Amino acid sequence: MTNLSGKCAIVGMGETVVGKRPDATTNSLHLEAIKACLDDAGIKASQVDGLLTNQPLNDSHRSYATKLSHMAGIDPLFATDLALGGATPIAMVQHAVMAIEAGMATTVVCVHARKRSTADPSPGHPIRRGDEHWEEPWGHFAAAGGHAFAAARHMYEFGTTSEDLAHVAISTRYHASLNKNATLRKPMTMEDHQNSRMIVAPLRLLDCSLESDGGGAVLVTSAERARDFPKKAVSILGMGQHHPHWSLLDAPTLTTLGGKKSSETAYRMAGLKPKDMQFAQIYDCFTITALITLEDYGFCKKGEGKDFVKNGRITIGGQIPLNTHGGLLSQAHLEGQLHITEAVKQLRGNEVEPERQVKNAKVGIVSGHGGSLAMHATMILGAL
């Protein structure tokens, strides 16, 4: 088996303005992200030969990747939609690497956009998560509920508190306050968090991520071809996935998730350890998700996340800066697409506001998490 560590690199990335984009559509946000990405990479659509995307939540298509390719003027040798919820953006890059190494494509754009903050009247049908009819009759409707089950269980097993979760939200908001392209930039206090209304106990409003309009894209090619692109290439060093259950009904545990095995695979591929990571862009649909993933990724022991997130350890300048862009909690929720673009910017070293730049950043880890805490993907990126 060939080790794919370092075989491919990210050579382009694009982000749209995020937040409320009333005049945009799902399609226009995808195209805007692709254009920004190709401009950044300095190539034309005709030079791209692969495209990966995620199904739009509010308007399903049979192969949206094919539609998007041709809307963008791309004639793909490789194109498909992936469906792993918030683990999809990382899975897209992983599949791009596999396609490139298999000789099926050379230059693959991975794009995801969402229109969830302002209305997007669309002619099509929304996508179901699946099995809602085994939850909704009892009043369980929301992602907040699924993650609240995990939070309640983590509190029961390890004594984690709502104040502990607040540290994740407060630190993430601080990073957003330094990011011009973030939705919520007013610094948050412990009092703000504790006074925010209960949504699904034990999770409060400020434990929950945003609903956003926006998009992002990255361009993947071989390490060899990466040298021909104008900007510093970011090497894909490690990749992993794990999907330990499907729904809350078959989850063996809600306090250790797919991140444990997924990160073990990625660390092994990269030949690196948690202590080698200089930042962590961790999927933060809810505060509890980031706390559990920090444990699963080996930054602290299981159950110690409640103390680990304190004392500035996860803030810029600390031991492992978490979500230096403001994350899903405060920048924008594009299912983690911007966790990847942020990692690329950090490793390029000169593309974010200096106050939130990780000093001398050479390697970092990115996570994706989807479904009923079911799907997980990990990627370790490095500066070439």
Partner 1 sequence: MSKDERGRATRRGQPFLEEPEAKPFWASLREHKLTAQRCASCQKIFGFPPQSHCPHCLSNEFKWVELSGKGTIYSHIAYHRAWHPAYQDKVPYNVSLVDLDEGGRLVTNVVGLPPEQVKIGMKVEVIFEDTADFTLPKFQPAK
Instruction: Write down the least CB distance from residue 294 to partner 1, Å.
Output: 20
Distance CA 98, CA 293 (A): 25
When asked if residue 272 is in the footprint of partner 1 (CB under 8 A), the reply is: no
Residue in the block written with tokens 């206090």: 189
Long-range contacts of the stretch 192-200 (C-beta < 8 A, 24+): 193/162, 193/163, 193/166, 193/169, 194/162, 194/163, 194/166, 199/144, 199/148, 200/142, 200/144, 200/145, 200/148
Sole binder of partner 1 in the list 90, 200, 322, 365 (CB under 8 A): 200
When asked if residue 227 is in the footprint of partner 1 (CB under 8 A), the reply is: no
Range 294-313, binding partner 1 (CB under 8 A): none
Q: Is the dihedral of CA 322, 232, 50, 182 positive or negative?
A: positive
Distance CA 196, CA 185 (A): 17
When asked if residue 268 is in the footprint of partner 1 (CB under 8 A), the reply is: no
Contact pattern for partner 1 over residues 236 through 255, marking x by CB under 8 A: ------------xxx---x-
Sole binder of partner 1 in the list 201, 227, 230, 384 (CB under 8 A): 201
Closest to partner 1 by CB, 251 or 363: 251
Closest to partner 1 by CB, 43 or 200: 200
Q: Is 341 strand, coil or helix? A: helix
Token pair in block for residue 192: 């703000």
When asked if residue 22 is in the footprint of partner 1 (CB under 8 A), the reply is: no
Phi-psi region of 323 (alpha: psi -120 to 50; beta: other; left: phi over 0): left
Closest to partner 1 by CB, 66 or 247: 247
Contact present, 122 and 59 (Cβ < 8 Å): yes
When asked if residue 121 is in the footprint of partner 1 (CB under 8 A), the reply is: yes
Element (H, E) at 165: helix 162-177
When asked if residue 190 is in the footprint of partner 1 (CB under 8 A), the reply is: no
When asked if residue 129 is in the footprint of partner 1 (CB under 8 A), the reply is: no
Token pair in block for residue 20: 């409320």
Q: Please, which residues have CB within 8 angstroms of residue 288's CB and are 6 or more apart in sequence?
A: 147, 150, 151, 154, 165, 203, 207
Q: 218 has which bridge partners?
A: 13, 110
Q: Which stretch binds partner 1 (CB under 8 A): 147-155, 168-176, 268-276, 310-318?
A: 147-155
Instruction: Write down the least CB distance from residue 370 to partner 1, Å.
Output: 18
Sole binder of partner 1 in the list 2, 139, 180, 186 (CB under 8 A): 139
When asked if residue 207 is in the footprint of partner 1 (CB under 8 A), the reply is: no
When asked if residue 194 is in the footprint of partner 1 (CB under 8 A), the reply is: no
Distance CA 123, CA 59 (A): 7
Q: 369 has which bridge partners?
A: 376
Sole binder of partner 1 in the list 148, 184, 277, 292 (CB under 8 A): 148
Cα 16 from chain centroid? Answer: 15
Contact pattern for partner 1 over residues 27 through 66, marking x by CB under 8 A: -------------------------------x--------
Instruction: Write down the least CB distance from residue 135 to partner 1, Å.
Output: 5
When asked if residue 20 is in the footprint of partner 1 (CB under 8 A), the reply is: no
Sole binder of partner 1 in the list 46, 62, 119, 301 (CB under 8 A): 119
Token pair in block for residue 79: 């194109």
Q: Which stretch binds partner 1 (CB under 8 A): 62-70, 128-136, 164-172, 292-300?
A: 128-136
Q: Which stretch binds partner 1 (CB under 8 A): 74-82, 99-107, 126-134, 181-189?
A: 126-134
Distance CA 308, CA 302 (A): 11
Give the total of residues touching partner 1 (CB under 8 A): 39
Q: 220 has which bridge partners?
A: 10, 108
Instruction: Give residues in contact with partner 1 (CB under 8 A).
Output: 58, 116, 118-122, 125-126, 131-142, 144-145, 148-150, 152-153, 156, 197-202, 248-250, 254
